[in-house]
Amino acid sequence: MQDNKKINLITNSLMLTFVQCITLVTSMAQTKILSLKLSMLAYGTYSQGILIANTVMPFLLLGMGNAVNYFFNQDQSEVNKKKYIDTIFSIVFYTNLISGILILFLRDWICRFFGNDLLGPIILLVAFRPLMENIISLYQPLFISVNMAKMIAIRNLIIGVAKVLAVGIVTEVSTDITVIFLILLLLDVLQLLFLRGIYERRNQKVSYLRISKKIVLPILQYAFPLGLSVMVGTLSLNMDKYIVGKMLTTEEFALYSNMAKELPFSFVVSSLTTIITPILIRLKAAGRMEEVKSLWKQYIESGIIITWILVAGALVCGKELIIFLYSEEYVGGILIFNIYLIVSMTRVTYFGMVQTLFGETKKIFYYSCMSLLLNCVLNYIFIIRFGIIGPAIATLLSVVLVNGLQLRKGLQLLKLQFANVFQLKKLFLLISKLLLTCAAAILVKQKCEVLGNTVDLMVTYIFFVLLMYWMERKEIKKLFGDLNGFRL
């Protein structure tokens, strides 16, 4: 018998988007402050330190966030739950501690790789940021599992604001990036102490130093394959930055790293993906394949409309957006910025979703490896051929190719044709409306130039988005109504 329970997919995904936006806005504010206050050389060095930390973190997390979620929510005694949680936290603690020490020993090699001796002092601090961040990230599924999800949202807000204030105050006194990294590391320590204190006040104490040897293998067997795909994906995502860091100057790296930041146009879609994936899994398990196909199609159509409208408006206002987000010093990278906006237009769905539904997770890993290999080869060739914009072009090509292969496989598994999901007439009409609205928005932008960059940006972008949503209002209302009224 079917459970006719109404699932508010859009409502729930928008709530999740709001929480993510808290982190995003504060992160963008932090980037803005540093872009204004630091020289290109100093900001490039700061970005290289962040790149190292962000690449190392998923490698050292080992997929353990998924393991916390899985083993804590199994039907087992509190004693067994504690054994699993202590072991997971301890594995991450020891792995990250040893890796942090190894990074310290590799400090000179890292400096030579980037050709930047200024990295030396900050590596002392960067080495142990993954330890803090990864332990902190393990608490998130724990809080959600014990119905303390609101605490995560509050924590995101408090820490985000604290980081912006700290960076703002510190850069008024000093532009020494070592001091900035020290402050950020101290905030991570305080955040960890806060989460640990709140959790242990209401639940059991978590040990970072207690491993139950008998359950290590089951934990690794579950977590590592999932973590491996994330590791490969992260390395692939950052490959262009490593190529630029190796082959170009630190100042050019500063320019590229900011221009290559993908803006959060896919946040609504990624939140919808988080909500819709378990629903699709349950529908498939119940044998309701026609509903799987229908819901997947609506999800993709929604992603295309939302993402393309938001990104196309940004393409019209590229220069103004760069000045607003960073500073006028970065306008020279507008071509890279625009290429990455086009990359964002491909983020209309999670292309590996159907493979996940059918349990073909190995295929997802193979595609991740293909993307990494393709990125590595194309980045090297294109940076020699096209200079600093080469890695951006390489990233766009590899994303389109790998996403296309994943989509093709997904259509095969669902026994659908391309035309069943992507109606060419609708796509043509949407693209035509986008082009016409772009032309109208450019005229508005020219009229508003005398009002200053911020006003020009806001008026033009709002005009574009509102006009497009007005023209697509019937389609959007229908899609969102169907999704929000979906019954499981």
Each residue of 136-163: pLDDT tens digit? 888 877 776 676 766 766 777 788 788 8
Identify the band that residue 244 occupies on the pLDDT scale cut at 50, 70 and 90: very high
In this prediction, residue 67 carries a pLDDT of 78
pTM, entire model: 0.81
Cα 374 from Cα 220, distance rounded (Å): 29
- pLDDT, tens digit, 9 for 90 and up, residues 105-140: 999 999 999 999 989 999 988 999 999 988 988 887
- The residue with tokens 């992603």 is 303
CA dist 465 → 324, 366, 434, 468, 480 (Å)? 18, 38, 10, 5, 17
- The percent of residues above 70 in pLDDT, for the chain, comes to 89
Mean pLDDT of the region 270-291: 73
Give the chain's mean pLDDT: 83
Q: Provide the pLDDT for residue 1.
A: 39
Burial class (CB in 10 A: 0-12, 13-18, 19+), 202: exposed
Q: Which residues pair with 6 in a beta bridge?
A: 487
Question: pLDDT for 386-442, tens place per residue?
Answer: 999 999 999 999 888 888 888 888 888 888 888 877 888 888 999 999 999 999 999
Q: What is the pLDDT of residues 479-488, one digit of tens each?
A: 766 665 555 5
CA 28, 33, 35, 38 torsion: positive or negative?
Answer: negative
- Give pLDDT, residue 274: 64
% residues pLDDT > 90 (the chain): 26
Per the CB < 8 A criterion, the answer to whether 58 and 224 are in contact is no
- The mean per-residue pLDDT over the stretch 232-257 comes to 89
Residue 240 has pLDDT above 70, yes or no: yes
Q: C-alpha angle 238/240/242, rounded to 5°?
A: 75
* Residue 73's pLDDT band (cuts 50, 70, 90): low
For the ranges 229-238, 285-294, 349-358, 422-431, the maximum mean pLDDT occurs at 422-431
Computed over its alpha carbons, how large is the radius of gyration of the chain?
23
The label of the residue with tokens 């820490």 reads 159
Confidence of residue 9 (pLDDT cuts 50, 70, 90): low
Quick check: 2 pLDDT over 50?
no
Specify the higher pLDDT residue, 449 or 63.
449
Q: Is the pLDDT of residue 445 over 80?
A: yes
d(CA 187, CA 165): 11
Query: What Cα–Cα distance (Å) separates residue 20 from each residue in 24, 145, 266, 276, 299?
Result: 6, 19, 11, 17, 20
Instruction: Give the amino acid at 388.
Output: I
Please give the Cα distance from 478 to 25 (Å, whole number). 30
β-bridge partners, 487: 6
pLDDT of 359 > 80? The answer is no
pLDDT higher than 80, residue 70: no
pLDDT at 266 over 90: no
Average of pLDDT values for 340-357?
81
Residue 3: pLDDT band with limits 50, 70, 90: very low
96-100, 197-201, 226-230: range with lowest mean pLDDT: 226-230
